[in-house]
């Protein structure tokens, strides 16, 4: 019998006993019970259960992960009518020529399954852009895998290249999907914390963390949430450690075109690094089309093989018409990228000045569309408490950064704002904070 029957609270124990008649027990019932009339009635009663369905039981490897902070904050934003400077999606639309290319592809009947690793046109566009950006010549057929956003590139890379027990080094704060996908892959996470004000890489600490079990370093430049960009010196140091210790680099570069204060450098372009690097990217940030979820991973054939094995069984292929449109996007003239940068620099200037005027300590951000501030002048006990207060009492959403750390205490003084919003929205958020935030 059911041992704990709290139906409203959905507390379940001895779950196999909840429905006492399972397939086996039905078969063992006396035959007489299954006269046609009786069995129909009996089966009908089974198919219309009067009890609520069994709640979802999350697998151990994902138990610790809750609803993402971005979803939670966006829901709170709606509830309180707050201006959302939390989740990193633009509140303006992507370029018309890319949307036109998608419509054209749909009208042209490019609507069936795409080739698993990408429509040839997009694979070629990815390699052409990579060549322009890094000088590297890569083969679109054997070194590019098109994925459903960078999120899938990250997952396919982890699942395709990391064995259970392999050590992977992360830099905290880190984008939340890294920890979850590494956990799915059974990796052992080792973490180095980047600290304000400049969030520089502590190279000696990195050196001491690398062991014979280290399979990969997972990095992100320009970096979410800090806006830090890895310098050439840092990349050189990471590269020589990886070569010396035969370690892979998994490099998330989704913000490569949002590099404001310095030039973005792909670590794959450093001598000896292409052979051991997976470069992951996507369309969403550069073309303000975060909902399209078109991404890719570039890696030498021996690494691409693993990524494609995982990709084949995760999604197999990505939206066909959107891939054609992504190809058109990546062939945008330089003027598109120049204008994008100009627009974002203007937005950034509005937000950074506004936040300083409000009284935050604002840390320098060189790339991405994020900026990190120290909220402690406003006297709240931690980042989550501050963000709750900011949403409910001030009407502005920011993201608490403690969720980006293995040790949440490391982020308790910091919150992240995004400036991927139109200028009026940014100004309104600043006005609200000036009016209502009290020290
Ligand atoms: C660092 C980083 N990597 C990957 C992603 C996910 O990219 P996509 O939307 O292409 O899956 C994001 C999105 O915010 C991000 O910030």
| 135-183 residue pLDDT tens | 999 999 999 999 999 999 999 999 999 999 999 999 999 999 999 999 9
Scanning 3-148, the segments in alpha helix (DSSP H) are 23-27, 36-47, 69-80, 96-107, 120-134
Say whether the peptide bond before residue 225 is cis (omega within 30 degrees of 0). yes
Among 180, 178, 183, 227, smallest CA distance to 344 is for: 227
Pocket test for ligand 1, best of 69, 146, 175, 179 (most atoms within 8 A of CB): 175
Average predicted confidence (pLDDT) for the chain: 89
Q: What is the mean predicted confidence (pLDDT) over 188-209?
A: 98
Among 278, 269, 329, 371, smallest CA distance to 105 is for: 329
Evaluate: CB of 151 within 6 angstroms of ligand 1: yes
Q: How far is CA 431 from CA 266, 343, 349, 435, in A?
A: 38, 21, 15, 6
- Classify domain 60-87+335-436 by CATH architecture: Alpha-Beta Complex (3.90)
Rounded to the nearest whole angstrom, what is the distance from the C-alpha of residue 150 to the centroid of ligand 1? 6
Where are the domains positioned within the chain? 1-57, 60-87+335-436, 96-332
Instruction: Specify the higher pLDDT residue, 45 or 299.
Output: 299
Rounded to the nearest whole angstrom, what is the distance from the C-alpha of residue 254 to the centroid of ligand 1? 6
Find the radius of gyration of the CA atoms of the chain: 25
> pLDDT for 219-249, tens place per residue?
999 999 999 999 999 999 999 999 999 999 9
- What is the pTM assigned to this prediction? 0.87
370-374: strand order across its sheet: 361-362, 370-374, 414-418, 399-400
Evaluate: CB of 140 within 6 angstroms of ligand 1: no
Instruction: Specify the higher pLDDT residue, 414 or 51.
Output: 414
pLDDT cut 70: percent of the chain above it: 87
Closest ligand 1 atom to Cα of 153: 11
Q: What is the mean predicted confidence (pLDDT) over 271-292?
A: 98
Residue 420 pLDDT greater than 70, yes or no: yes
Q: What is the mean predicted confidence (pLDDT) over 109-138?
A: 98
- What pLDDT, on the 0 to 100 scale, is given for residue 73? 80
Scanning 315-363, the segments in alpha helix (DSSP H) are 320-330, 334-358
Domain 96-332 is in which class? alpha beta
Q: Whose CA is nearest to atom 16 of ligand 1?
A: 224
Answer whether 273's CB lies under 8 Å from 283's CB.
no
> pLDDT for 37-86, tens place per residue?
333 343 343 344 566 666 667 888 888 777 777 787 878 888 999 999 99
Pairing type for strands 188-193 and 167-172 reads parallel
- What pLDDT, on the 0 to 100 scale, is given for residue 172? 98
Evaluate: CB of 284 within 6 angstroms of ligand 1: yes
Residue 8 pLDDT greater than 50, yes or no: no
Rounded to the nearest whole angstrom, what is the distance from the C-alpha of residue 36 to the centroid of ligand 1? 57
């Amino acid at each position: 019998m059911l041992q704990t029957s709290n139906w409203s609270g959905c507390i379940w124990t001895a779950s196999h006993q909840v429905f006492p008649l399972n397939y086996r027990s039905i078969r063992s019932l006396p035959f007489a019970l299954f006269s046609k009339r009786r069995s129909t009635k009996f089966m009908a009663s089974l198919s219309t259960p009067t009890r609520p369905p069994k709640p979802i039981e999350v697998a151990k490897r994902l138990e610790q992960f809750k609803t993402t902070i971005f979803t939670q904050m966006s829901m709170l934003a709606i509830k309180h009518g707050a201006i959302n400077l939390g989740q990193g999606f633009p509140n303006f639309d992507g370029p018309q020529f890319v949307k036109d290319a998608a419509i054209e592809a749909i009208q042209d009947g490019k609507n069936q399954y795409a080739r698993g690793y990408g429509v040839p046109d997009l694979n070629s566009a990815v390699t052409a852009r990579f060549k322009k950006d890094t000088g590297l010549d890569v083969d679109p057929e054997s070194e590019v895998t098109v994925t459903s956003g960078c999120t899938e590139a990250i997952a396919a890379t982890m699942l395709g290249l990391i064995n259970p027990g392999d050590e992977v080094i992360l830099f905290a704060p880190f984008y939340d999907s890294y920890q979850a996908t590494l956990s799915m892959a059974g990796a052992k996470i080792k973490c180095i914390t980047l600290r304000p004000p400049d969030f520089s890489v502590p190279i000696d600490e990195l050196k001491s963390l690398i062991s014979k079990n280290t399979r990969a370093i997972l990095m992100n430049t320009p970096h979410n949430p800090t806006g830090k960009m890895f310098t050439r010196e840092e990349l050189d140091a990471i590269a020589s450690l990886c070569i010396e210790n035969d370690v892979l680099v998994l490099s998330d570069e989704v913000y490569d075109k949002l590099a404001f204060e310095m030039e973005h450098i792909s670590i794959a372009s450093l001598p000896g690094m292409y052979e051991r690097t997976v470069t992951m990217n996507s369309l969403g940030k550069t073309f303000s089309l975060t909902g399209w979820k078109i991404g890719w991973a570039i890696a030498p054939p021996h690494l691409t093989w693993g990524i494609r094995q995982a990709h084949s069984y995760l999604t197999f292929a990505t939206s066909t018409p959107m891939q054609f449109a992504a190809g058109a996007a990546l062939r945008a003239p330089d003027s598109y990228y120049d204008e994008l940068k100009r627009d974002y620099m203007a937005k950034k200037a509005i937000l950074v000045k506004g936040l300083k005027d409000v009284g935050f300590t604002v840390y320098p951000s060189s790339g991405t569309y994020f900026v990190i501030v120290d909220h402690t002048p406003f006297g709240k006990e931690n980042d989550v408490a501050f963000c709750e207060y900011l949403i409910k009492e001030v009407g502005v959403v920011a993201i608490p950064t403690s969720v980006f750390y293995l040790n949440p205490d490391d982020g308790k003084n910091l919150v992240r704002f995004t400036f991927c919003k139109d200028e009026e929205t940014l100004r309104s958020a600043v006005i609200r904070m000036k009016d209502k935030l009290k020290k």
